[in-house]
Amino acid sequence: MATPQEKKDYQDYVEKNSPKTNLALQMVKAFIMGGLICCLGQFIVNVASSKFGLDKETAASWCSMLLILLSAVLTGFNLYGGLVKWGGAGALVPITGFANSVVSSAIEYKTEGQVFGVGTKIFTIAGPVILFGIVTSWGLGLIYWIGKLMGIV
C-alpha cells in the first residue's frame, strides 16, 4: 500500500511529465484543418460542376474519390502525419482520415508481404468502422422495414 507521500510524489511526477496542451488552441487548429479540407472539397465540386458539366451528385462522388486519393498519396509520402499533428481531429475525422488509416496500416505491414502483411492488416484500424457501420445500417434498415410493415413510417 502506498503512503500518502508516495501518492503525492507520484501525482507530482505525472503532472511534471505529462504533455501540456492548450485545448482551446487545439480546437481552433482542428476547426481550421477541417475547414480547409471542406473548402478543398467544395472547390472540387464547384470545378467539376462548372468546368466539366457534371451534375451535383456526380461532382460530389468525384470530390470524395479525389480527397481519398489525395489523402492516400500524402500518407504514402509521409506528409499526412504532419497535417494530423498540427490539425488533430480536423484532419482525422473527415473521409481523408479514414483513407489515411487504411493506407497507414498497409504501409506499416508491407514488409510482412502482400498476403500476410498488407492483405491481413490493411483494415486493422478501419475494420471496426466498416463493421459497425454495416451492422448499424442493417439494424436501422430492419427498424425502418418493420415500421413500414406496421404503417408507422
Residue 34's pLDDT is: 94
Residue 140 corresponds to which amino acid?
Answer: L
Cα–Cα distance for residue pair 94/109, rounded to 1 Å: 24
Residue 45's pLDDT is: 97
Burial of 58 (0-12, 13-18, 19+ CB in 10 A): middle
Task: Check if the beta carbon of residue 72 is closer than 8 Å to that of residue 103.
Answer: yes
Burial 9-18 (b: 16+ CB within 10 A, else e): eeeeeeeeee
From 132, 135, 37, 20, select the one nearest 92 (Cα to Cα): 37
pLDDT in tens, the chain (153 residues): 788 998 898 998 988 888 888 999 999 999 999 999 999 999 999 999 999 999 999 999 999 999 999 999 999 999 999 999 999 999 987 789 888 888 888 888 777 877 777 777 777 777 787 888 899 999 999 999 999 999 998
Residue 126's pLDDT is: 73
